Amino acid sequence: MNLNARKQLAQQVRLLRTDRGWSQEVLAELSGLNRSYIGAVERAEHNIGLDNIERIARALEIPITRLLDGEAGAAPCCQSASRREPPPQAPAVGGGAVVHRRVFLELLRQCGQTHRELVLVYLERCGVIVCD
């Protein structure tokens, strides 16, 4: 099948996003782009700029070449969230923000009501394993 570059990119973005179980809203939030823009990219409606391709690749935690190669089946498909290696643990020392446990749990409760998928992605990136 001979697809143009825009359609190949659209297929790669959709494949990688759905393989992770993410909605377009989650990818949009992680990339800093609008959800409707992500949808238009996946439908090959936009001639997306290189900066935005880079933002999407960063959000998906893949090299930009993975989006641009257009060979959906060439590289092994991304692992699903439940099978991915957890990120390396941050050192215990440093200038990280300290949040009282009660405040953190309240924020998590509030965000979880409206942005459940985003909270799960965040927890996964922090190395927390969430089981159904």
Q: What is the pLDDT of residue 116?
A: 73
Could you tell me the pTM of the whole model? 0.60
Mean pLDDT of all residues in the chain? 74
Cα dist. 11→27, 29, 42, 94 in Å?
15, 20, 7, 41
Mean pLDDT of 80-100: 44
Q: Assign 118 a pLDDT band (cuts: 50, 70, 90).
A: confident
Query: For residue 38, what are its two tokens?
Result: 């992500």
CATH topology of domain 5-68: 434 Repressor (Amino-terminal Domain) (1.10.260)
Cα dist. 118→26, 51, 75 in Å?
6, 23, 26
Q: Assign 69 a pLDDT band (cuts: 50, 70, 90).
A: confident
Closest CA to 69 of 6, 3, 4, 9: 9
Domain ranges of the chain: 5-68
